[in-house]
Amino acid sequence: MDLSDLRREYSRTGLNREDLNADPFKQFELWFEQAKAAGLIDYSALSLATATVDGLPTVRTVLLKLFDRDGFVFFTNYKSTKALQIEENPRVSMLFHWLPLERQVIIQGTAVRVTAMESLKYFASRPRGSQLGAWVSPQSSVVSSRRLLEGKLREAIKKLAGGEVPMPEHWGGYRIQPQSIEFWQGRENRLHDRFRYIHPSSDNRWEVERLAP
């Protein structure tokens, strides 16, 4: 299939340096709220890229569950492929694509496990079905059939018989502590606006630089 004619112009709005918040977390919050207000479906979804130490990358979607000045948090299985890669190489990248707004946000940072307390708090807020799912799915492992998973779910439902579902030890969150955050706004003629906030480790302030599109 030849897709060479598939394109559109990006002309909704621009992004000016003087409109950027000096604090990238505030800037992110503004764009996140705008993605929500625009009614974008799954606006909290992001692509998370991890890599093995020898450089083999993997990317997949996860849901952002919390963000604040300490970083961006998602939850997962600590035995999954992504978690194994993070444990050997904590340097990751995240991408939010809010394409109807002609925007993307790209974050590079370091993943650290959240505290068990934080994971417990979020686990307790999940629907029961998701809590049980965390027990029965050996995420990223090869399984022989769907029937096997459904059988394990039925067993778990019977075993717990309406009681509280404990959090599995192999389940919890990661917080991405950003070193750089790029805000990308599509513009006409492919002259998009790109601003990258960089956090120099020697200093607490964020520097902002414009990148060529």
Active site residue ranges: 190
What is the SS3 assignment for 124? helix
- Per-position x/- string for 13-42, each x denoting binding to ligand FMN as judged by CB under 6 A, each - no binding: -----------------------------x
Verify binding: residue 76, ligand FMN, rule CB under 6 A.
yes
> Could you tell me which stretch among 54-62, 126-134, 151-159, 181-189 binds ligand FMN (CB under 6 A)?
54-62
Q: Give the whole-angstrom CA distance, residue 100 versus residue 212.
A: 22
Q: Which is nearer to ligand FMN, 108 or 140 (CB)?
A: 140
Q: Is there binding between residue 74 and ligand FMN (CB under 6 A)?
A: yes
Q: Is 160 in the site for ligand FMN (CB under 6 A)?
A: no
Binding to ligand FMN in span 78-117, by CB under 6 A: 80-82
Site string for ligand FMN, 111-150 (x = CB under 6 A): ----------------------------xx----------
Q: Which helix (H) or strand (E) holds 155?
A: helix 146-160
- C-alpha 2/C-alpha 160 separation (Å) is 54
CB of 139 to ligand FMN, least distance (A): 5
- CA separation for the pair 138, 118 (Å, rounded): 22
Q: 177 - beta bridge partners?
A: 110
What single-letter amino acid sits at 37?
A
- Indicate whether 63 belongs to the interface with ligand FMN (CB under 6 A): yes
Would residue 102 be called left, alpha or beta, if left means φ above 0 and alpha means ψ between -120 and 50 degrees? Answer: left
Sign of CA dihedral 76, 79, 83, 87: positive
* DSSP sequence for 4-31: TT------S----GGGS-SSHHHHHHHH
Is the Cβ of residue 135 or residue 197 nearer to ligand FMN in the bound state? 135
What is the binding site for ligand FMN (CB under 6 A)?
42, 45, 58, 60-63, 74-77, 80-82, 139-140
